[in-house]
Structure 1
């Protein structure tokens, strides 16, 4: 199985440099252009289906890159970005002023810390892990996932054995395209391409 991981194109919130996962924003002009460049890279690949995070930015990206009218598209909640709760839409500087004690806890335990009303990286890992365990039991040759940076880094972490300390060891720019292969019961990262 070839699992193509595509991060959404640049969005309105990317420009603001804020924490956002649950904020449902659209692609900006640069994000649309990125999607069109990736479309060329995906031309001719026959996907059996696509799984997409049900957010505007991921759905818009899929709409740009998908040239098949027959592609089966599955909206998948487990592919949503991490929810930053009350931290959503705020820069780190703003968070330091509004939530100084929470920021200290976050700095000291980034994996288990849960922002007020949000979720932790451990919770993100568990939902992505449950999706991946189901996916590798499907009978697909090629499948497309359109999702977010946090989810993609989590998938890399899952492929490498589940050690969350590896999470920050990967870059993941807008419209990056990665291929994960599942062969003979093993997952491995085959390639990562910047748009």
Structure 2
């Protein structure tokens, strides 16, 4: 089985360097171009299934990737980006000013602490784990999964035995294609391509 993970194209919020996950934002012109470049790299792959997060940046990226091809998009909230709660749409400096106590707790325990009304990194990992457990039960050859950077990093942690400590050991740029293979009970990262 080949799992093709694609991170959605760039958005204005990516450019502004703020925290956002649950905000539903559009692709920029650059984000559209990234999706088109990824489409060119994947043009010869025939997918059995296509999964997308609930966010329009993922759906739009998938639609560009699959232009002129007939695929049903399967929406799964387990591959939504992390919900940053009250931290949504804000940057480091603003958070330090508005939420000094919560910001400090978050910085001291990035795995378990949650922004107010948001999710912890562990909570995101647990839903991504549930998604991956279900995907590995399928008997398909090629699956496309269009999602978010935090989800893809969580997938890498899943591959590395579920150790969330590896979360910051990988990058995931907008438009990146990560090919994960599942063969003979072994799951591994086959390649990561920057577009």
TM-score by length of 1: 0.98
**Aligned-residue offset at 1:68:** 5.2
CA–CA distance in structure 2, aligned partners of residues 44 and 52 of structure 1? 20
1:107 positional shift:
1.1
Secondary structure, aligned partner of 1:182: strand
Q: Which residue of 2 aligns with 1:21?
A: 21
**Structure 2: any 5+ residue segments left out of the alignment?**
none
- Partner in structure 1 of residue 149 of structure 2: 149
Which aligned segments of 4 or more residues in structure 1 are displaced greater than 3 angstroms? none
Cα distance in structure 2, aligned partners of 1:90 and 1:34? 25
Structure 2 SS opposite 1:191: strand
Deviation (angstroms), 1:87: 0.1
- The CA distance in 1 between the partners of 2:109 and 2:180, in whole Å, is 29
Give CA-to-partner distance per residue, 1:81-103, whole Å, 9 cap, x none: 00000000000110000011111
Kept in 2: contact 1:22–1:83 (CA 8 A): yes
State TM-score, norm by structure 2: 0.98
How do 1:12-161 residues align onto structure 2 when only pairs under 5 Å count? 12-67=12-67, 69-161=69-161
Matched positions, count: 195
> How far, CA to CA, are the matches of 1:73 and 1:99 in structure 2?
38
The CA distance in 1 between the partners of 2:107 and 2:170, in whole Å, is: 19
Report the CA distance between 1:69 and its aligned residue. Answer: 3.3
Query: Does the CA-based 8 Å contact 1:153-1:172 persist in structure 2?
Result: yes
Structure 1 match to 2:6: 6
Moved more, 68-77 or 25-34: 68-77
Deviation string, structure 1 residues 55-104 (Cα, Å, up to 9, x no partner):
11001100111135332320010000000000000001100000111111
Task: Show structure 1 runs of 5+ residues with no match.
Answer: none
Q: Is the 8 A contact 1:19 1:90 kept in 2?
A: yes
Separation (CA, whole Å) in 2 of partners of 1:67 and 1:28: 18
> Are the counterparts in 2 of residues 48 and 72 from structure 1 also a CA contact under 8 Å?
no
Residue in 1 that maps onto 2:193: 193
Query: What RMSD, in angstroms, separates the aligned Cα atoms of the two structures?
Result: 0.8
